[in-house]
Amino acid sequence: MLCTMRQNKKEAASTRLSTPNKKFDYSLDYPNLNLREHPELYRVGVGEQGVLLVEPYKSEILPVWRFKTPEIASESSEAIYRMFLEYLAREDFVGADMARKFMQMGYTRARRYANHKSGRKYDAVTGELLPNEEDAVKAAAALVFKEKLALLNSNAKYQQMKAEHKSKYG
């Protein structure tokens, strides 16, 4: 009986993976894939999933992604925003979504360092949540990315392309 239940779960999971609303697919050979040439393989996923995997976008956006200070975050978020607009102008949804993911990661990473100077949220030995130690500089850097992220997410063309991509590819 237990074996049958496991098999049914595997079959259900397999079926879910072939339906239109796929999660980010970590099984692809990302180092050897060019998703600009194969946008049909890209899945939006949740949040920042795949942000450091999807080429050639990772290599294009990562060099400008920084969040150490509000000034650096401002320069970085502006550069990423320009890239976002360029991707949209080229009808490159995958690039635009990757720019959005980097913007979101700028916010979440800066917030992590704003809350925990070491960047570690949990104690390495006990696994317990470490107390917050607010860093105003990193918090300000996070806010820069958060505001720009809202701008990206509210872009009508981006929303339309996202809906079309999800409808077509999952």
Give, in order, the Cα–Cα distances in Å from 92 to each of 29, 49, 97, 121.
Answer: 21, 18, 9, 35
d(CA 54, CA 66): 19
Report how far residue 36's alpha carbon sits from residue 93's, in angstroms, rounded to the nearest whole number: 9
Please report the pLDDT score of residue 118 as a whole number. 87
CA gap 37, 94 in Å, rounded: 10
Q: What is the pLDDT of residue 106?
A: 98
pLDDT digit string (tens) for the chain, length 170 residues: 434 434 443 443 433 333 345 689 999 999 999 999 999 999 998 989 999 999 999 999 999 999 999 999 999 999 999 999 999 999 999 999 999 999 999 999 999 999 998 889 999 999 999 999 999 999 999 999 999 999 999 999 999 999 999 999 98
Residue 129 bridge partners (DSSP): 122
